[in-house]
Amino acid sequence: MYSLYFSPGACSLATHTILNMLNQKTELIHVSNVKNFEAVNPSKMVPVLKDGDTYLTEGAAIILYLLEKHENNLMAKAGASRQKAIENMMLANATMHPAYGRLFFASANMEEGKAKDDFFKAAAETIDKIWLSVENKISEGPFLGGHSVSPADILLTVYSDWGQYFPVDINIGPKAQQMIKLVQQSEAFKLASQKEADTVAN
């Protein structure tokens, strides 16, 4: 059985959803209940996945690890389709996630005032541009990779929820919105969200 260190609704929700899609039993560890989380992950970030005695960090790397280990239809095994799925996953994890990360950073670290307002506006404009590139990538089906869901769709769905916590308007195009809705309606995502909400922080 795996153990997943998570924070409710954080990027760890994508790892959690994929574990559900792979039918993997997972113990959930709310990061607030861990006394010395720094010893688990020196960067103090979720997700961390424990597999036996091994601790794995970095969401995208964890997802690739899981997809290699368990039979699935979430990503092609080789060739151009696999490369495209990894590219899309990185667009989500390495481009969109940090773009939203700026909102969290400014909210926690900047003093109220014009500079903060301008920063939020500029950060939101960058996020909009990335959502536009996502919109343009969705063509032959409701998902980024076509007719079946892939890790990029799941990661982006998790991030899409974060804009509501900040004084910004994020523009997500109709195709991306439809993709998000489909992921949110999946049993794996619903179960993961529910379990995270039910796991109490002490």
Which residues here bind ligand GSH, judged by CB under 6 A?
7, 10-11, 44-47, 58-60, 93
For residue 155, the minimal CB distance to ligand GSH (Å) is 9
- Evaluate whether 100 touches 159 at the Cβ level (below 8 Å): yes
For residue 59, the minimal CB distance to ligand GSH (Å) is 4
Sheet holding 2-6, edge to edge: 26-30, 2-6, 48-51, 54-57
> Closer CB to ligand GSH, residue 11 or residue 179?
11
For residue 10, the minimal CB distance to ligand GSH (Å) is 4
For residue 114, the minimal CB distance to ligand GSH (Å) is 26
Q: Omega before 47 cis (within 30°)?
A: yes
> Closer CB to ligand GSH, residue 44 or residue 69?
44
> Closer CB to ligand GSH, residue 10 or residue 134?
10
> Closer CB to ligand GSH, residue 14 or residue 74?
14
Nearest to 47 by CA among 133, 182, 151: 151
For residue 102, the minimal CB distance to ligand GSH (Å) is 12
Q: What single letter denotes the amino acid at residue 47?
A: P
Spatial CB neighbours of 193, under 8 Å, sequence gap ≥ 6 = 9, 13
> Closer CB to ligand GSH, residue 60 or residue 124?
60
